[in-house]
């Protein structure tokens, strides 16, 4: 629903983009347009085990039932961080929302929406992720240690999502280099 402020802003803008943040939560939002139908994008996302292909540091994602999934992420110092995630809203081809189950180390919730873009422009994918303050702080420490601020992470994940959906591949530039990485001459 559109945001309305006393200052007169009335537009479809995420609370993450407000100058005065509405709560202590860390909000991360990001939008990307993908040349695929909302149906295709929703289908990929709804099977959470697919997300390992586009996310960093995922050890594994186990889909337990339509509501509950178990996430294992590589944490700092080789220690894994695990939590259960629960689907809180599921509107076919349109919106998926989730939140971490009680007791998760990183308290987080979020949603993703697949909105029809203007004529011929594909689907606008919007995502919002919220990290609760205490867990959020811890989460940010973890993220910092991994050099992955939630922002950076969301940005990269949505880029990979677009790459995979549009091209069938996640783009990589890995390859040979010189210097100390150069092949030892025999």
Cβ(45)–Cβ(165) below 8 Å:
no
Which are the contacts of 130, defined by CB distance < 8 A and separation ≥ 6? 25, 26, 27, 28, 108, 109, 110
Selected from 5, 17, 88, 171, the binder of other proteins by CB under 8 A is 171
118 binds other proteins (CB under 8 A): no
Stretch binding other proteins (CB under 8 A), from 69-77, 101-109, 123-131, 152-160 = 152-160
Closest to other proteins by CB, 42 vs 161, is: 161
**Tokens at residue 96, please?**
């998926």
Cβ(57)–Cβ(146) below 8 Å:
yes
30 binds other proteins (CB under 8 A): no
Closest to other proteins by CB, 30 vs 99, is: 30
Closest to other proteins by CB, 95 vs 159, is: 159
182 binds other proteins (CB under 8 A): yes
Q: At what angle do helices 38-46 and 150-167 cross, to 10 degrees?
A: 120
166 binds other proteins (CB under 8 A): yes
178 binds other proteins (CB under 8 A): yes
Closest to other proteins by CB, 7 vs 186, is: 186
Question: If we measure between CA atoms, which residue out of 117, 80, 115 comes closest to residue 94?
Answer: 115
Mapping DSSP to helix (H, G, I), strand (E, B) and coil, where does residue 42 land? helix
- Interacting residues with other proteins (CB under 8 A): 33, 35, 121-122, 152, 155-157, 159-160, 162-163, 166-183, 185
């Amino acid at each position: 629903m559109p945001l309305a402020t006393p200052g007169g802003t009335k537009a479809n803008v995420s609370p993450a983009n407000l100058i005065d943040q509405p709560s202590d939560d860390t909000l991360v939002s990001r939008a990307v347009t993908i040349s695929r139908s909302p149906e295709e994008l929703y289908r990929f996302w709804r099977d959470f085990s697919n997300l390992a292909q586009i996310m960093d540091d995922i050890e594994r994602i186990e889909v337990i039932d339509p509501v509950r999934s178990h996430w294992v992420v590589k944490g700092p110092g080789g220690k894994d961080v695990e939590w259960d995630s629960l689907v809180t809203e599921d509107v076919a081809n349109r919106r998926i929302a989730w939140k971490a189950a009680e007791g998760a180390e990183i308290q987080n919730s979020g949603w993703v929406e697949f909105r029809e873009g203007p004529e011929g422009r594909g689907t606008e994918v919007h995502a919002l992720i919220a990290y609760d303050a205490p867990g959020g702080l811890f989460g940010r420490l973890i993220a910092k240690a991994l050099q992955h601020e939630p922002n950076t992470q969301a940005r990269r994940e949505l880029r990979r999502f677009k790459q995979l959906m549009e091209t069938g591949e996640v783009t990589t530039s890995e390859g040979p280099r010189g210097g100390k990485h150069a092949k030892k001459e025999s």
